[in-house]
Amino acid sequence: MEYKSYTSFDPNFLWGAGTASFQVEGAAKEDGKGLSVIDMIKKNPTITDFSIASDHYHRVEEDVALMAELGLKVYRFSIAWTRIFPNGNGEVNEKGVAFYNRLIDELIKHNIEPLVTIYHFDYPQSLVEQYGGWVSRKSIEDYRAYAEFLFKTYGDRVKYWLTINEQDHVVRIPSRLGLTGDNHYEQLRLGYQANHHMCVATALAIKTFHDLGMEGKIGPAISYSIIHPASSHPDDILASKDAMLIKNNYLMDLHCYGEYSPRFQRYLEDRNFTPTIEDGDLALMKQYPPTMLGVNYYFSEAVRAFPATEEFPIGYQKKALLPEAEAGVFEVVKNENLAATDWGWEIDPVGLRLTLNELHDRYNLPIFITENGIGAYDKLEEEDIIQDDYRISYLKEHMKQVKAAINDGVTVLGYCAWSFIDIVSGRNGMEKRYGFVYVNREDFDLKDMRRIKKESFHWYQKLIASNGEDL
């Protein structure tokens, strides 16, 4: 739908950017920090690891000063669980507590709202060794206790909380659960059990949030992208709806409604993936839903029907990092209507508007866009110039669609571009850059780690100053 006129962004709209602790902080083994599952991943000899990352741990004041210069109203960051509890539970690491106090106080000093992610992939390795991590029900209380500690320690200054980042990705990527071995089926089965435990843990954390009388909003940060049918053929339309259910909506139905939908229950039963559910679990989720949703959006997908055959029976899944094809359900195909990034992610700004509307129609909660951006081969030229027009174009077109979604009636609290500064990509090291601020290092070459403002920095600075009127 097009409108004769568009309203302006709310004066309190929170323009921001984000990072994740393991990708930006470095200091992986300093000041009492314990090991996470990220630290245990076998190092790729061709790209950098996370041990130094962007060295944010040692450059907090410098980096926050740049955030203030950029004009950020909100900064999304994650707390490294093992910086607070080196073993995931038990003894508190006071140096870790002090680091985040320093960061939060610095943000507040510059009138930047902290948006805190409680857990962003870096699960404590010690909890995996103690009892198996998220696949064990013991994980629920340890997460709740960790969240409670954060609420009590930082809640006087933090009003926006994200419980778990991209939970669906965690449960589908074995290394993020601390799982080893090659039994893909068993890992998926354990993943669905871990997913259930995370949903119960999230509900308990939200209950704790309310019991403590915390102000503000809380909810998960979900990876959620609209999935288009590859054609108008009814089978492809059905495939797109099925893909939306098993990649996106199953999780949101649990968080927001406390239920496994009948179709998803049947899906799990057919594959023997049904998790163990204890009495009271679903009632707890229903009683303590999120009060906001964080949405990570980068690209959309297109799918076509993938009928099961003798060669590809029900249960077959194409081996990939995240689901790309499942017999009897769907197969991801190239969308010929869209351009793509250097890494093959299809650029679909309208898909963001569709995503926001889909979430609003289904769950009717305020939304924070917690990640949106483009990874690219940024080039540092003479006189410290990084000309990243492609980033400006990507962000501008997506932000226009955010404004359109707001005009559609969606409540959008704020927008956090990914990312504030160049961070270490999980699969591409420093080669794939997202930030408004360039970090002068390459894989295995620290150079001088200088922070250099890209052209997109200056563009976003002006956009924030105009409260989005310059789009």
Residues annotated catalytic, as ranges: 166, 371
What is the four-CA torsion angle of 78, 197, 202, 263, rounded to 10 degrees?
A: 110
The span from the CA of 149 to the CA of 84, in Å, is: 9
Q: Strand ranges (DSSP E) for 120-211?
A: 160-165
At 357 the three-state DSSP class reads: helix
The token pair that represents 409 in the structure block:
């009636």
The span from the CA of 227 to the CA of 331, in Å, is: 11
Phi/psi at 163 (nearest 5 deg)? -75, -60
Q: What is the DSSP string of 211-241?
A: HTT--SEEEEEEE---EEESSS-HHHHHHHH
The token pair that represents 458 in the structure block:
């200056």
Alpha helix stretches (DSSP H) within 9-76: 21-24, 37-40, 60-70
DSSP state of 338: S
Find out whether 170 and 177 touch, Cβ atoms under 8 Å: yes
Find out whether 463 and 15 touch, Cβ atoms under 8 Å: yes
The span from the CA of 170 to the CA of 15, in Å, is: 27
